[in-house]
């Protein structure tokens, strides 16, 4: 069986997710997505609404397409910034560009919508970690739910 990416970076949290009830895992996924959006400073109203609404108001197809388009645009902007930074001279220039962080936060929102609740929680957690969320904050969320 292949390991999920989150198991490589947060094995304890991944184990807690694996043992969680599906409803708790789904709630965790959306809370993680909201945290990632807050940390990354996501301003897109659609991404924020989906992260806040969870499955109480499942997004329409048009909203999902907007999320995927936003993530793709942010990823492209991230790639452009990273390419431009190949000759970076300062530490600040070497830090992950905001477009990259925001793309991963939007990725957490998209991951939270994955049909399998535990997979949604694992995916959202991985994206949140790559967006810069503190692992201790994610552990605290897990403590509330699992």
Arithmetic mean of pLDDT, 32-38: 95
Residue 18: Cβ within 10 Å count = 13
Predicted local confidence at residue 92, as pLDDT: 53
pLDDT in tens, 53-103: 877 777 788 888 999 999 999 989 888 877 776 665 555 554 566 888 999
Note the Cα 93 to chain centre separation in Å: 23
Give the predicted TM-score (pTM) of the model.
0.83
Per the structure block, which two tokens stand in for 90? Answer: 């300062």
pLDDT in tens, 56-68: 777 788 888 999 9
Q: How far is CA 129 from CA 8, 44, 86, in A?
A: 12, 20, 24
Predicted confidence band of residue 1 (pLDDT cuts 50, 70, 90): very low
């Amino acid at each position: 069986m292949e390991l999920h990416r989150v198991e490589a970076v947060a094995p304890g949290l991944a184990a807690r997710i694996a043992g969680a009830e599906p409803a708790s895992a789904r709630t965790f996924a959306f809370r993680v997505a909201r945290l990632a959006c807050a940390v990354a400073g996501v301003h897109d109203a659609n991404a924020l609404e989906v992260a806040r609404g969870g499955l109480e108001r499942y997004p329409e197809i048009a909203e999902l397409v907007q999320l995927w388009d936003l993530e793709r645009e942010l990823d492209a902007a991230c790639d452009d910034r990273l390419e431009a930074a190949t000759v970076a001279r300062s530490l600040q220039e070497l830090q992950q560009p905001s477009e990259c962080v925001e793309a991963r936060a939007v990725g957490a929102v998209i991951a939270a919508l994955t049909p399998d609740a535990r997979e949604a929680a694992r995916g959202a957690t991985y994206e949140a970690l790559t967006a810069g969320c503190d692992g201790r904050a994610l552990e605290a969320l897990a403590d509330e739910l699992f």
